Amino acid sequence: MVYQNFSQGAQWLPFTPNRSFGQDPRVFVAADGMYFTTYDGRRVIDGISSLWCVGAGHNRREINEAIKHQLDTLDYSTAFNASNDRAFEAAERITALAPGDLNKVLFCSSGSEAADTSLKMALAYHRARGEGHRTVFIGRERGYHGVGFGGMSVGGIPANRKMFGSALLPRVDHLSFTHDPAHAYYNGEPESDHDLLVELEQRILPLHDPSNVAAIIVEPVAGSAGWYVPPKGYLKRLREICDRHGILLIFDEVITGFGRMGTAFGADFYGVVPDMLNFAKCVTNGVIPMGGVICRQSVYDAVMDAHANSPAHAIELFHGYTYSGHPVACAAAIATLNVLRDEELFQRAAQIGKLLGDAMHNRLKGLPHVISIRTLGLAGAVELSSLPGLVGKRAYDVYLECFHQGVLVRSAGENLVLAPAYIVNAEQIAQMVDVLAGAIRKHA
Ligand SMILES: Cc1ncc(COP(=O)(O)O)c(C=O)c1O
């Protein structure tokens, strides 16, 4: 019998209005290419790569086969004091793609774990170099680094923080949100009338003293908040400031990694090499949970060098997960990287992204309540003004309307986001943007 108890099922859905969901369940039972099938037999186009994960599209035979083969060969092996061949191979493939001397990967299973791993690595690095006093972390307003206590603390989305205040890490500060309402419409990198990093240099760093700061963590483009692109030159300048003060720079590339910007990483797009780079999502095309932190050789070396005189059995970093480098996840990652390479999907994302950007600007600008459109790479957001006292309702209603019209979009605050798989075609982009336009008009 087909299971259909979705309205009052036993599941508590994450980041979802559960009461509303119960009245209008949105449940998928199959997927292929760009499309889902719902439990009630409808076809829905996946306009968001299932939350930025499915870069190569759904149901990729090559990835599925690699997973099946791996299950029949080595299903799982412990990650501590031993490893597996796939984990080494996946790490080599990932670091080969990464810029600069980002040479070492520590695997985990999610973006949240990657965020906390990178913060802990930063503390370990400074301590290893005799600077254990560097414990201040700096994130950014509207940043998202998952839901662990570390990632939540450096994150800057107010709703994610407000219930958990007393459990947030101490000694955390935040850079200002980068969005400039005077430049609310952009198709590419925005301009800004202000130098946003003056605040870092003249207020935040002097307040804590730069010698106490361990790391600054930012997403190259703020994804979860609603695709807010930093102004031209921002990340390069951030790198320079970090270098000047011995502060580590962490890029959280859980969304921007593996092709979304039309390059392997956001770091490549911006020509800035961070000290650590967090990834998840697209690395396995979403099919098996995996995350990780790639760090520069110098970060790894510092932690190892501190143990130069330790006995051979001494562990250098007391951190890791049961599923770090899970062989099945690593097999999925290797197969995913093959598909991305063989089908030149990063390049395709760059090309088709221009089409998405143009379509969103041409079709959505000027519609009722639209106050901003931001596109770059293969992603874009349209922002609506809020109904008085009901922040987010307008976008949520538009999201529901799109779903009922056969297009899965994402609502984030008052933003509607499109971020389709890199295999999307022109016709599908037109359909997504048309449905979004119709839904915005309907809820005017
Ligand atoms: C930049 C960034 N970091 C971390 C995370 C958290 O990842 P996960 O949900 O896999 O824990 C996300 C999720 O969207 C993200 O966008």
For every one of its 444 residues, what pLDDT tens digit does the chain have, with 9 covering 90 and above? Answer: 689 899 888 999 999 999 999 999 999 999 999 999 999 999 999 999 999 999 999 999 999 999 999 999 999 999 999 999 999 999 999 999 999 999 999 999 999 999 999 999 999 999 999 999 999 999 999 999 999 999 999 999 999 999 998 789 999 999 999 999 999 999 999 998 889 999 999 999 999 999 999 999 999 999 999 999 999 999 999 999 999 999 999 999 999 999 999 999 999 999 999 999 999 999 999 999 999 999 999 999 999 999 999 999 999 999 999 999 999 999 999 999 999 999 999 999 999 999 999 999 999 999 999 999 999 999 999 999 999 999 999 999 999 999 999 999 999 999 999 999 999 999 999 999 999 999 999 998
* Ligand 1 atom with the shortest distance to the CA of 278: 3
C-beta of 115 in contact with ligand 1 (< 6 A) = yes
N- to C-terminal Cα separation, the chain: 42
Query: What secondary structure does DSSP assign to 42-96, as a single string?
Result: -EEEETTHHHHT-TT-B--HHHHHHHHHHHHH------SS---HHHHHHHHHHHH
The pLDDT value given to residue 176: 97
Select from 255, 265, 278 the residue to mutate for testing ligand 1; criterion: most ligand atoms less than 8 Å from CB: 255
* Ligand 1 atom with the shortest distance to the CA of 253: 1
Which 8-state DSSP code applies to residue 284? G
Select from 13, 224, 415 the residue to mutate for testing ligand 1; criterion: most ligand atoms less than 8 Å from CB: 224
The pLDDT value given to residue 8: 81
Query: What secondary structure does DSSP assign to 138-186, as a single string?
Result: EEETT----SSHHHHHH---HHHHGGGGGGSPSSEEEEPP---GGG-EE
Which 8-state DSSP code applies to residue 396? H
The pLDDT value given to residue 300: 98
Please identify, in words, the CATH class of the domain defined by 18-56+344-442.
alpha beta
C-beta of 378 in contact with ligand 1 (< 6 A) = no
The pLDDT value given to residue 93: 98
The pTM score is 0.98
C-beta of 112 in contact with ligand 1 (< 6 A) = yes
Measured CA to CA, the distance from residue 119 to residue 134 in angstroms comes to 12
Residue 324's closest CA among 52, 79, 158, 123? 79
Measured CA to CA, the distance from residue 88 to residue 84 in angstroms comes to 7
Kindly give the distance from the C-alpha atom of residue 199 to the centroid of ligand 1, in angstroms, as a whole number: 27
Common-topology check for domains 18-56+344-442 and 64-342 = no
Q: Roughly what angle, to the nearest 10 degrees, separates helices 426-442 and 345-364?
A: 30
Measured CA to CA, the distance from residue 291 to residue 276 in angstroms comes to 13
CA angle 340, 334, 70 (to 5 degrees): 135
Select from 51, 112, 287, 323 the residue to mutate for testing ligand 1; criterion: most ligand atoms less than 8 Å from CB: 112
* Ligand 1 atom with the shortest distance to the CA of 281: 10
Q: Which two tokens stand for residue 279?
A: 């990834």
* Ligand 1 atom with the shortest distance to the CA of 224: 16
Kindly give the distance from the C-alpha atom of residue 55 to the centroid of ligand 1, in angstroms, as a whole number: 15
Kindly give the distance from the C-alpha atom of residue 415 to the centroid of ligand 1, in angstroms, as a whole number: 18
The pLDDT value given to residue 197: 98
Asked: is 64-342 a CATH 3.10.450.50 domain? The reply is: no
Where are the domains positioned within the chain?
A: 18-56+344-442, 64-342
| Strand order across the 172-175 sheet | 102-108, 291-296, 276-279, 248-252, 213-218, 136-140, 172-175
Residue showing tokens 């290797």: 334
* Ligand 1 atom with the shortest distance to the CA of 289: 10
The pLDDT value given to residue 165: 82
Kindly give the distance from the C-alpha atom of residue 51 to the centroid of ligand 1, in angstroms, as a whole number: 9
Determine whether 10 is exposed, middle or buried from the number of CB atoms within 10 Å of its CB (0-12, 13-18, 19+).
Answer: exposed
Measured CA to CA, the distance from residue 1 to residue 315 in angstroms comes to 52
Measured CA to CA, the distance from residue 29 to residue 32 in angstroms comes to 11
The pLDDT value given to residue 9: 86
* Ligand 1 atom with the shortest distance to the CA of 112: 11
C-beta of 280 in contact with ligand 1 (< 6 A) = yes
The pLDDT value given to residue 2: 81
The pLDDT value given to residue 166: 79
* Contact by Cβ (8 Å): 38, 4: no
Using the CB atoms, write b or e for 66-92: b if 16+ within 10 Å. bbeebeeeeeeeebeeebbebbeebbe
